[in-house]
Structure 1
């Protein structure tokens, strides 16, 4: 007689094993089966741990979240489908109509757009102020201010926020201090040690490190806030892909090595660019000529990170010539990859701003941001030398 199980689509469980895999298995299953309704009740009511539906959590997401929690000195963080979904979880999951949120005026471009357009549409008031000037931040505080959102090092001008002053201001006003730690990473800065209430990451960038992952992360100091973030994330469908989580875990295994190598090269590149004819200015936090150098040393120690920004003496024609001549480097609006990438904010991340608004931030047509990767440092410096020379020649 034919075994009745043979006609079932999924008749067999995974085989048992006395050993375990060294590499975390990829678990793409959307759903998980329980034995009985009582067993499912036990899971949902917290008497036993188990997975049910991947939008509510899955093994690969929990592995990445646990690793990030450890790096940030936190617990209970959530992994989301992108850096902006992590920002959305915090802003939309914790704020309500009538609340006010104060942001740094040099946030990531899409964060600025959310502050300027999306939150006001939902009845959440917003304003922006210079995070390097705590008096300007204080002047923007209102009685209904519930949150302050800043980056430690701004994108793309690499200004360093007055975190100590802003943390004191947040405590004084009763607002939650949210820090986007994407640029600095826990390797250089741990926000909870400096008064933050919530930390956000675009895991897509340095933490995963290979430009093949789209993930975000958010975690609060208060477990009750973490519960609210998690519930909103599940409801809004901000779920991270198991495959992206699996790739991110692989990338994070080499994070410290990648960060240290690219940071060392970035410091060399900043000094090299400063000596080239055709470069108007260089921004790198560990250079003595950086406008926030003293604050950078105080907050970051000797961790200048892997980002270097600079301004060519020419305009758009020079910018075009520069990217064409930067042979082997990707001109792409991203950062944190193992390969060096070039970003031109005026045509990418900050293109929605008016020229006057970009000028007020110090972003000209000749302004570039470099995310330094793992190339041979000498080869990278030569490429930059040749590209700047081409840009200089294009000034006409």
Structure 2
């Protein structure tokens, strides 16, 4: 007779009268139920529990609850990436014949989905200037299902008048979907300004360490949560338990990281603006920002941790700047605890034609800086050296 204590059998988790301070990591793909009746009760939501990790797991639930608390939301869903959340919203809620209005300065992959993937599936799209409510209003149709915008656009840092757009969307019975990745709930809470759905790339500032790829989506109306979740589960847009565990740990320092990075960004923006060879600096709290008044009204004193600037000299100068900024990672990301440098023409917006990029204000000399928590004086010195080298 075989020994039931063979190593193949699972060992029960040790019981304890105390509890762990750190959130446990639960990588299990599947969960065992007591009986078919018990499994029925779980699927019919008469009892709470986990069945298969693609449908949910404890680490995703813990992370979602923490972001819900930050956003003033309920029932948020963590997905495998920011684009997974965008996809779950678009394909979970739109049908062939629907129409989507979106800002023309969204993240590059969001723009690609709007320009290529949704039309292929029978969903028409229109891009409009997110800083011009009249342009958004003119783009609306009777069949418009939703409006997708970023509060602060990538990478030009233009500020959308969310209050005005929310009123337009409400008049047309369209859903307002806000990608809050750049601003984060530390600077802006979309649900308080009329948003119906909020999206995040948790990969960025929320997780904050460039070691977890995740997204998040929350809907104000409980009736919208089901279709979004069902599509995410069906399509396998599943968040990794380990990445959720890392991101939840990162959230413990989120407010401290955000405030330090934001302070550094304001200092760095003002410093870069004084350097020879710089053609312009974009930072929402600078008086010369084209949407400064809107930023002050919506964000108060918040300016965020992103700075965009341009230099003379095109691609040759851009290469020289990156090579001279040897201690600042040149990487297509944002929100890391350390400062990173991005060149939109070769990363986030490389799929656009040069003419399309130019129309958005993106040239070969355009750089986007995701400012980190290093000493501000160190960042100012490093960028001064790198920009000088680009003009040398």
TM-score (norm 1): 0.98
Q: Residue deviations 1:99-141, cap 9 Å, x none?
A: 0000000000000000000000000001100010111111111
Match of 2:146 in 1: 147
Give runs of aligned pairs for residues 53-64 of structure 1, distance below 5 A: 53-64=52-63
Contact 1:263 1:372 in 2 (8 A): yes
Aligned alpha-carbon RMSD (Å): 0.9
Aligned residues: 392
Shift of 1:12: 2.6
Which shifted more, 343-352 or 247-256? Answer: 343-352
Q: What is the CA-CA distance between 1:3 and the residue it aligns to?
A: 7.3
CA distance in 2, matches of 1:183, 1:68: 15
Q: After the TM superposition, which residues 62-101 of structure 1 pair with which residues of structure 2 at under 5 Å, given as runs?
A: 62-101=61-100
Residue 352 of structure 1 deviates from its aligned partner by 1.3
SS in 1 for 2:147: strand
Counterpart for residue 194 of structure 2: 195
User: How far apart are 1:4 and its partner, in Å?
Assistant: 3.1
Q: Is the 1:283–1:310 Cα contact (8 Å) retained in structure 2?
A: yes
Q: Does the alignment pair 1:14 with 2:13?
A: yes
* Distance (Å, rounded) in 2 between the aligned partners of 1:363 and 1:19: 56
Residue 87 of structure 1: how far off its partner (Å): 0.2
Matches within 5 A, 1:1-396: 4-7=3-6, 9-393=8-392
Q: CA deviation at 1:152?
A: 0.2
Deviation at residue 233 of structure 1 after TM alignment: 0.9
Residue 299 of structure 1, CA deviation:
0.5
- Compute the displacement of 1:10 (Å): 1.9
Q: Distance in 2 between matches of 1:139 and 1:43?
A: 47
Separation of aligned partners in 2, 1:389 and 1:222:
52
SS in 2 for 1:154: coil
Unaligned runs of 5+ residues in structure 1 are: none
Q: Do 1:5 and 1:11's aligned partners in 2 also have CA atoms closer than 8 Å?
A: no
CA contact (8 A) 1:158 1:283 kept: yes
Please give the per-residue CA displacement for 1:146-176, whole angstroms capped at 9, x wherever unaligned: 1000000000000000111110100000000
Residue 7 of structure 1: how far off its partner (Å): 3.2
- Is the Cα–Cα contact under 8 Å of residues 273 and 282 in structure 1 kept in the other structure? yes
**Distance in 1, Cα, partners of 2:11 & 2:154:** 51
Alignment deviations for residues 181-239 of structure 1 (CA, whole Å, 9 cap, x no partner): 00000000000000000000000000000000000000000011011111111111111
SS in structure 2 opposite 1:281?
strand
Q: 1:248, 1:8 → 2: CA distance? A: 33
Q: Secondary structure at the match of 2:13?
A: coil
For 1:330, what is the secondary structure of its paired residue? coil
Aligned residue for 1:218, secondary structure, equals strand
Say which SS state the counterpart of residue 391 (structure 2) adopts.
Answer: helix
Q: CA deviation at 1:8?
A: 6.1
Moved more, 9-18 or 369-378: 9-18
In the TM superposition, residue 43 of structure 1 has moved relative to its aligned partner by 1.2
Q: Quick one: distance in 1 between partners of 2:151 and 2:41?
A: 42
TM-score by structure 2 length?
0.99
* Cα distance in 2 for residues equivalent to 1:7 and 1:352: 56
Whether the aligned pair in 2 keeps the contact of 1:306 and 1:371 (CA below 8 Å) is yes
| Residues in 2 aligned to 1:183 and 1:43: alpha-carbon distance in whole angstroms | 37
> Contact conserved, 1:177 with 1:198, CA < 8 A, in 2?
yes
